A and B are shown apart, each in its own frame.
Chain A
Amino acid sequence: MKFGQTIYLDYNATTPVDPRVIESIQPWFFEKPGNAASRSHAMGWMAEEAVEQARAQTAAAIGAKPGEIVFTSGATEAVNLAIKGIGARYARKGRHFVIVATEHQAVLDTCTYLAKHGFEVTVVDVNAEGHIDIEELAAAIREDTVLVSVMMANNETGVIHPVEKIGDLCAERNTLFFCDATQAAGKVPIDVESMGIHLLALSAHKVYGPKGVGALYVRQSAPRVQLTPLFHGGGHEGDMRSGTLNVPAIVGLGCALEITAAERDRENKRLAGMRDRLEAGLREHLEGVYVNGDTENRLPHVTNLRFLHVQGDTLMTRMGSSVAVSSGSACASALAEPSHVLLSMGLSEREARSSIRFSLGRFTEPDEIEEVIRLVVREVEALRDVSPVWEMYKAGMLD
């Protein structure tokens, strides 16, 4: 399905809200205006009931209990609440965190903040496929480590980390395990109990829900995890997140997660088929197209492709408004910063800059993939036609 003139293949950045989710949200804007914290009238009770239903839906999506879900404004807040909340609450036990080099900026920046405030952070590297070495992770954990943070699936490559093994390791070493599941939620089965996860962050807008809402799972038994809140003012959400609840968005999150869970297996198969066709089609017609990251253990809807001697940003500009994809890079400096994820995997700056993330989703159709293949092939060829670098490569003067 085209959005205007654009084929949208940037579902890892955000997803359109599913019309079924929109339908579930709509009454909560006008017809049902109650505040979920209002105890004195039926409007408030109805809103509270809707929030509790969404809490149960969210908990069911990750194998948690409803009382273990804290609603937030999104994954970034959930990440901040988890990391800063643990840092403040467990500072007497220790002030050391372990994270992975390919974590999302929300985790990296929050840990950088803590490092400036008396905490220590050890960053574990990944290999060329984007995977961590469990032994290296184990070696990084110390007596004073209070939290290990490893994302479930990477947002740029889709590479899935061995969460169960990390959970076992953290239990063995008596440290808490925080998992950012923002990209994995709705795409892979999640069971926080069997995976040994103590804290987990997710966001609605990655699963066809609205922007501005997410959740943090906080384990309440074996062990009971405690957090120092970021916000104060009313003691909402079990005193972990004060502030009037965003009822429409929370209802949307619950609904989106329920739909995604019900359709996941069939949808994953469909998406993996189209993703594989995209990779095969491009590699069939173009020389020098490489997949970044492990091609086996990854999310079904994403591929991160490197186009030899073509800059990703340049290729995206050639495609103009025809296709929406992402280079996974910030655009603040003279040249866009290369992806820290790809650099961590050992790619050179130049190789990282030559990469583009294609992420497919619920509204992607097979004929769109064929059109994207045609467009990308045409534009890569046009760029290589005027490229002295490509000429040198073809003459055997460059790798």
Chain B
Amino acid sequence: MKGRYSPELLNHFHLPRNPWDGKQHPGLRILECGEPEKGEIIVLYLLADDQRGTIKRCWFRAAGSVETIGIGSWVTTYVPGKRVREILENLEGDARSALGLTPNQWRVTKWLARLFDKLDEEMQI
């Protein structure tokens, strides 16, 4: 698979970080993105500090392609401690750099950007 996936992406794919264990937490937000009709889904389970507009914890579940699962895992390590606005601004570029994503794989970061856009709107309200 050399060439199709970077070692960083494969590392997250083979050793997923923060898979959601089904445990409920007060204030847990569950947000979903992807292309479900193609079997490509990332579900993020988020604990946020609404006052500060930051993410405290993040877990995930994902199905579909290697990049969907790998990026789903990576994002759980990327967002804690960050403001949602900051995530929105930097997520796509940071994911591409950190995981060596090819243009074919950018669709997954676009889903995630839309997901955080939605979260930002929710938190504004």
Asked whether A388 and B65 contact (CB < 8 A) given A331-B4, A335-B38, the answer is no
> Does chain A have a CB within 8 A of B53?
no
Residues of A within 8 A of B41 (CB): 388-389
Residues of B1-52 contacting chain A, CB below 8 A:
1, 4-5, 10, 13-14, 16, 19, 32, 36-39, 41, 43
Count how many chain B residues have C-beta atoms less than 8 Å from C-beta atoms of the other chain: 26
Complex partner residue of A391 from B13, B61, B66, CB under 8 angstroms: B61
Contact present for B66 and A317 (CB under 8 Å): yes
Most buried by B among A313, A318, A349, A386: A386
Interface residues in B59-77 (C-beta closer than 8 Å to A): 60-66, 69
- Check A39 for interface membership: any CB of B closer than 8 A: no
**A295-320 interface bits toward B, Cβ cutoff 8 Å, 1 = contact, 0 = none:** 00000000000000111011001101
**B107 in the interface (beta carbon within 8 A):** yes
Selected from B13, B62, B104, the residue in CB contact (under 8 A) with A387 is B62
- B9 CB to nearest chain A CB (Å): 10
Which of A309, A333, A385 meets B104, CB within 8 Å?
A333
- Expressed in whole angstroms, the Cα–Cα distance for A311 and B69 within the complex equals 11
When distances are taken between beta carbons in the complex, the residues of chain A under 8 Å from B65 are 311, 313-314, 335
Tell me whether A350 is interfacial, beta carbon within 8 Å.
yes
Closest residue of A by beta carbon distance from B4:
A331
Q: Does A390 contact B (CB under 8 A)?
A: yes
Given A333-B104, A385-B19, A388-B61, A314 and B66 contact (CB-CB distance below 8 Å): yes
Interface residues as binary, A147-174 with B (CB distance below 8 Å gives 1, 0 otherwise): 0000000000000000000000000000
Known A388-B41, A388-B61, A388-B62; contact A314-B19, beta-carbon cutoff 8 A: no
Known interface pairs A317-B1, A389-B41. Does A383 touch B63 (Cβ–Cβ under 8 Å)? yes
Partner of B69, one of A309, A349, A350, A386: A386
- Give B105's nearest chain A residue, CB to CB: A334
Q: Give Cα distance in the complex from A386 to B66, angstroms.
A: 12
Residues of B within 8 A of A389 (CB): 36, 39, 41, 63
Question: B residues within 8 A CB of A333?
Answer: 104
A353 at the interface (CB under 8 A from B): yes
From 351 to 382 in chain A, residues with beta carbon under 8 angstroms from any chain B beta carbon are 353-354
Residues on A with beta carbons closer than 8 Å to the beta carbon of B66: 313-314, 317
How many Å lie between the Cα of A277 and that of B64 in the bound state?
A: 28
A388 near B1 (CB under 8 angstroms)? Answer: no
Specify which chain A residues have a CB less than 8 angstroms from the CB of B39 in the assembled complex. Answer: 309, 311, 350, 353-354, 389
List the B side residues contacting A390 at CB < 8 Å. 63
Taking A353-B39, A389-B39 as contacts, is the C-beta distance between A309 and B63 under 8 angstroms?
yes
How far is it, in angstroms, between the C-alpha of A311 and the C-alpha of B65 when the chains are bound? 7
Q: Are B38 and A314 in contact (CB under 8 A)?
A: no
User: In the assembled complex, how far is the CB of residue B10 from the closest CB belonging to chain A, in whole angstroms?
Assistant: 7
Nearest chain A CB to B30 CB, angstrom units: 10
In the bound complex, CA of A383 to CA of B61 (Å): 10
Question: From residue B100, how far is it (CB to closest CB) to chain A in Å?
Answer: 15
Q: Is the CB of A388 within 8 A of B63?
A: yes
Q: Which residues of A contact B4 (CB under 8 A)?
A: 331
Partner of B37 from the list A314, A350, A391 (CB cut-off 8 Å) is A350
**Candidates B1, B32, B64; contact of A311 at CB < 8 Å:** B64
Asked if A318 and B38 make an inter-chain contact with CB atoms under 8 angstroms apart, the answer reads no
Would you call A388 and B43 a contact (CB within 8 A)? Answer: yes
CB-CB under 8 A from A354, the residues of chain B are: 39
Contacts of B105 in A (CB 8 A): 334
- 11 pairs across A/B with beta carbons < 8 Å? A311-B63, A311-B64, A317-B5, A317-B10, A318-B14, A320-B1, A335-B38, A383-B69, A388-B43, A388-B61, A389-B39
Q: A354-B39, A388-B41, A389-B63 are in contact. List 8 more A-B contacts (CB 8 A).
A: A317-B10, A333-B104, A334-B105, A350-B37, A353-B38, A387-B61, A387-B63, A389-B39
Q: Which residues of A contact B (CB under 8 A)?
A: 309-311, 313-314, 317-318, 320, 331, 333-335, 349-350, 353-354, 383, 385-391
